[in-house]
């Protein structure tokens, strides 16, 4: 991990590269203590950030899953089943995938195994889930057009599905973290 330092006490600018054990050595009054304190604060904050990130992501996934389950009430379920059963299966599958993704977060969160490998694995699962949600959203939009053409009032409920998936798809960028800057 690289930490870019700028304008921190005596340090005008510098990059701290952390690999395994990192030794900070220099003359007296050169900023070693400042770097140590900055490093401690940064790592403590990052640890809290990762936990907050996972908690927030988990809450968003639960919210999307809950909304999709609520929308898929018996009346709407029967309507979709009678006209487009494969679509109903996809909706059910994505709800299950959302729950599995959330279980993965919680399983590792409880074991306190938050590391780069966990985030990479989580990112892979999340991006697959995003792709699945995007395909479902497109199919729902097509289904809404069809229902709208037939003057079927069910398309309003399904439109809310699409809005929920659109909000979920906006989360795609949240795994873009590579370099931490402290300015």
Same domain membership, residue 36 and residue 54? no
Same domain membership, residue 156 and residue 92? yes
> What's the domain count of the chain?
2
The pair of structure tokens assigned to 11 is 């340090």
pLDDT at 40: 80
pLDDT at 182: 39
By mean pLDDT, which of 7-16, 57-66, 148-157, 174-183 is the weakest?
174-183
Question: pLDDT confidence of 43, banded at 50, 70, 90?
Answer: confident
Q: What is the pTM of this model?
A: 0.55
Same domain membership, residue 110 and residue 37? no
Task: DSSP for 88-143, please give it.
Answer: HHHHHHHHHHHHHHHHHHHHHHHHT--SHHHHHHHHHHHHHHHHHHHHHHHHHHHH
Conformational region of residue 42, where left means phi above 0, alpha means psi within -120 to 50, and beta covers everything else: alpha
Determine the Cα–Cα distance for residues 76 and 74; give it in Å rounded to an integer. 6
Same domain membership, residue 11 and residue 58? no
Range of the domain at 12: 2-42
Same domain membership, residue 30 and residue 6? yes
Same domain membership, residue 61 and residue 32? no
Side-chain-side CA neighbours of 23 within 13 Å: the count stands at 2
Final residue belonging to a domain, choices 26, 42, 58: 42
Same domain membership, residue 112 and residue 38? no
Same domain membership, residue 115 and residue 25? no
Same domain membership, residue 166 and residue 114? yes
How far from chain centre, in Å, is Cα 35?
Answer: 31
Same domain membership, residue 85 and residue 138? yes
Same domain membership, residue 17 and residue 84? no
**What is the per-residue pLDDT across 108-144, written as a single tens digit (0 to 9) for each?**
665 555 666 777 777 788 888 888 888 888 888 887 7
Same domain membership, residue 105 and residue 161? yes
């Amino acid at each position: 991990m690289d930490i870019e330092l700028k304008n921190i006490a005596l340090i005008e600018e510098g990059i701290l590269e952390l690999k395994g054990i990192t030794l900070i050595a220099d003359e007296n009054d050169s900023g070693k203590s400042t770097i140590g304190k900055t490093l401690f604060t940064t790592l403590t904050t990052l640890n809290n950030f990762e936990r907050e990130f996972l908690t927030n992501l988990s809450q968003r996934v639960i919210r999307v899953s809950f909304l999709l389950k609520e929308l898929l009430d018996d009346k709407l379920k029967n309507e979709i089943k009678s006209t487009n059963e494969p679509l109903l299966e996809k909706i059910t599958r994505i709800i299950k995938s959302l729950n599995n993704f959330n279980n993965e977060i919680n399983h590792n969160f409880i074991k306190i195994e938050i590391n780069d490998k966990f985030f990479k694995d989580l990112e892979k699962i999340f991006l697959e889930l995003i792709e699945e949600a995007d395909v479902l959203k497109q199919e729902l939009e097509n289904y809404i057009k069809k229902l709208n053409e037939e003057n079927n009032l069910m398309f309003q409920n399904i439109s809310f599905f699409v809005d929920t998936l659109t909000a979920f798809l906006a989360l795609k960028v949240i795994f873009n973290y590579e370099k931490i800057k402290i300015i």
